[in-house]
Amino acid sequence: MAQSTIVLIGAGGHARSCIDVIEQQGSYKIAGLVGRENEVGQQLFGYPIIGTDRDLPALAVEYKYALITVGQVINPDARIGLYEQAQRDGFLFGKVISPLAYVSPRAVTGAGTIIMHGAVINAGATVGENCIINSHSLIEHDSEVGNHCHISTGVVLNGSVRVGEGTFVGSGSKVRENLVLGQRVIIDMGTILYSSVSDYKRVASKIK
């Protein structure tokens, strides 16, 4: 199968992990990365940094697909802004799924989402657009993750959990079944959640 060419928007630490997943998946050929002005002309793992976000309109003429490879630690604004800008400029967003992950054929994942090594998305689950489903996270049956979320490494979302748009769930957190996490919630790493969380709240470990 012929590879589609993809541009990675973001050239920091998260981009390193994304490159590894993309190479393992084998569906896309990386044309280069978009970074900061002082990064242009450098390379990341052998791939050139070919421009900044100001160059996205011209790059969209030359390349069809993009992936947002800026990380999301707590605040989703950078990822959301770049995703919406790239959409306006004409890029399409595919799905990047590690061959070491398991995504049920009865699950749904949105455009621009990356599913990292060892993640599991079980039957009936739904994941929105422009999400990071990080390494060894588990999204159990019938759970819903909204757009622009980061489900960090080793997170467990039990069955029928609802996660609102722009929410960050920190590494190693566990969420009881049937709970609702609102929009732009921040769950600190290692948190054990036994109750739902309303929009824009931040919670720390072992909140009951």
Q: Please, which pLDDT band fits residue 2 given cuts at 50, 70 and 90? A: low
48 and 81 inside one domain: yes
106 and 179 inside one domain: yes
The per-residue pLDDT for 205 is: 72
Burial (0-12, 13-18, 19+ Cβ within 10 Å), 128: buried
207 and 118 inside one domain: yes
| Host domain of residue 148 | 96-208
User: Residues 149-171: what's their mean pLDDT?
Assistant: 98
75 and 114 inside one domain: no
- The pTM (predicted TM-score) of the whole model is 0.95
Which residues partner with 202 through β-bridges?
A: 186
The per-residue pLDDT for 74 is: 83
Number of domains in the chain: 2
User: Residues 69-79: what's their mean pLDDT?
Assistant: 94
d(CA 109, CA 120): 12
- Does residue 206 carry a pLDDT above 90? no
- Does residue 115 carry a pLDDT above 90? yes
The per-residue pLDDT for 204 is: 84
101 and 176 inside one domain: yes
User: Residues 129-148: what's their mean pLDDT?
Assistant: 98
